[in-house]
Amino acid sequence: MTRYPVWFCLLAAGCSRGPEMSIEQLGGSPPAPGYSLKQLSGVRDGEVVHAAAEFTGADGELALTLRFRTGVPTRLESGTWVWTRGGKRQEGRVSARTVEFLGGQSGRPSLGGVYDLLPEQGEPAYRVRWPATELAPK
């Protein structure tokens, strides 16, 4: 009888939704409410995946340009970001906290994860997350 509650919990955990898309404010950065993933495009070329993520919100647009090396685990090799907000432009580099990559050997690959946006100088300003999403052709 005690097996059933354990089995049910495992089933419920497996059916739960992954992380929602969000842009989290870190440190003293201004908040970024209401942003959504507009487009995730890219191409896999052997072990390398080139991807571009575009987010839009009421006050601007955020663009990430990312390069990954597939493997176990898949890792972010390089990334940059440009955010145009309220008539101002910020930019910097991207650092991966987690990478979610679904290979796409029989179809288009999917990409997601948690990424920190680092300004030219300083600590991470924002944390961007989105669930694994199929890459649209570039």
Residue range 70-75: mean pLDDT, rounded: 94
CA gap 112, 76 in Å, rounded = 11
Residue range 32-55: mean pLDDT, rounded: 93
CA gap 61, 69 in Å, rounded = 26
Give me the pLDDT at residue 19, please.
58
Residue range 27-38: mean pLDDT, rounded: 86
Which phi and psi angles does 9 have, rounded to 5°?
-65, -40
Listed by start position, the domains of the chain span 19-134
Give me the pLDDT at residue 123, please.
87
pTM value? 0.82
